[in-house]
Structure 1
């Protein structure tokens, strides 16, 4: 069941929302009701609703203020109901990530449709969270590159350990095994041969895998553009970054971000 919180200062409207909607039919339950945004904020913190239905004009703290202080932190979906049709209110609500702006008197059929759409959105987010959770450091390292294993294993050659250290320290730069060969004055063929023997990867494959691990961490943070992430992990072109990312993750960076936002 999806948890609903109703924040509305007009008793008749609030009670109407609670008792005139067939919440069970749309797989929802009203977990709380509040007369103002200040109390509503406390209920959001304590009840963790999936969807908050709120008025704008309320005493103590209005709906917009309540949303500003909580929607990003608690990651719920929001529906604003109001008798005010001013565009400025709608723009502010949309900027906060509000899913729908409904005018009073409430059209319960429209409200049910909106909630059903939000349920689909919430389910997508839940599935994506599960997907991202499966891509935590431990699982990524096992599926893409078990860096802990390769860092701790007793190597036959110190060259391999040093090459891994070199990758970890310099992956944001344009590097290749040629750079390492110059450091040790050994041929690239020899270095690649011992690297492949002890890690099962070529130097370039290991480097790309490590870069993708770092890019996934940055994508999960969500504060950089894809081209910025590509550059920060040492891949100069967006196109090549997308190709490498999809090779190891199974979807492009754009698809990865789209899942976050859907």
Structure 2
């Protein structure tokens, strides 16, 4: 179950959300309420919610200011509620990586859809975190240098990252996303670069190499087969890209960090040398 915090100054709306929406059906549970941004910050720190639903206009501290102050520390997704269809607020929400910007009065189906997107965003980030922190002692330093995701990302960037996750083994490019997202390749590239510090192609290569590292450590497949499995049909190109991001050849990485006999022997020799 995903933990949800409600931050809304109008008690009738706040209680209405808590007691009329089917939270269990959405795979969520409301763990707390706050009536302004200051109290919301305290609740985020104390309760560590997965999803925060927050109104924009509140006393003491508005929703945007609250998100700005919590976004670096909190590992959660945000859904904004507002009674005002203001483009400035929508831009601020996108800049802060808010999952959804919903207008009051809120329909239940809208909130359900927003929660599903927020959950997907959280699961995606947690999968990456697990990937980056796994395999301690087996090339961990090399892994950590390959890819790093932003703490928060906008809807467009989240979709782009998800697309890489789902299709990295295929021949893909940013143009594949232009039609489905309804914006230009230039805009997507700029958006992706500003939020991740990588170009789309750079990120795609990093993700593929990260996957290759995982397969190489298992020690079960040949390097050329792994190259094809992660989307590189040109074996020599794969070696060049791997060296660029990992700092060594794939065969050396497999021999040094793999779980096969060679990897174990190499690691043992290194440990003996260091002792």
TM over 0.5: yes
Aligned to 1:242: 241
Secondary structure (helix, strand or coil) at the match of 1:97 reads: coil
Among 219, 244, 255, the alignment partner of 2:147 is 219
Instruction: Give ranges in structure 1 of 5+ residues lacking alignment.
Output: 142-212, 231-237, 251-262
| Matched ranges for 1:1-262 at <5 A | 1-136=1-136, 138-140=137-139, 213-214=141-142, 216-217=144-145, 219-220=147-148, 225=198, 242-244=241-243, 245=245, 247=250
Higher Cα Rg, which structure: 1
- TM-score, normalising length from structure 1? 0.58
CA positional deviation for 1:75: 2.3
Distance 1:13 1:134, change over 3 A: same
- TM-score, normalising length from structure 2? 0.55
Q: For 1:51 and 1:21, locate their aligned partners in 2 and report how far apart those are by CA, in whole Å.
A: 15
Secondary structure (helix, strand or coil) at the match of 2:145 reads: helix
Q: For 1:220 and 1:36, locate their aligned partners in 2 and report how far apart those are by CA, in whole Å.
A: 33
- Kindly tell me the number of residue pairs found equivalent between the two proteins: 171
Q: For 1:241 and 1:40, locate their aligned partners in 2 and report how far apart those are by CA, in whole Å.
A: 49
Once superposed, what is the RMSD of the aligned Cα atoms? 3.0
Are the equivalent residues in 2 in contact too, given 1:218–1:224 (CA < 8 A)? no
Aligned to 2:177: none
Distance 1:36 1:131, change over 3 A: same
Q: For 2:198 and 2:95, locate their aligned partners in 1 and report how far apart those are by CA, in whole Å.
A: 19
Q: For 1:240 and 1:90, locate their aligned partners in 2 and report how far apart those are by CA, in whole Å.
A: 44
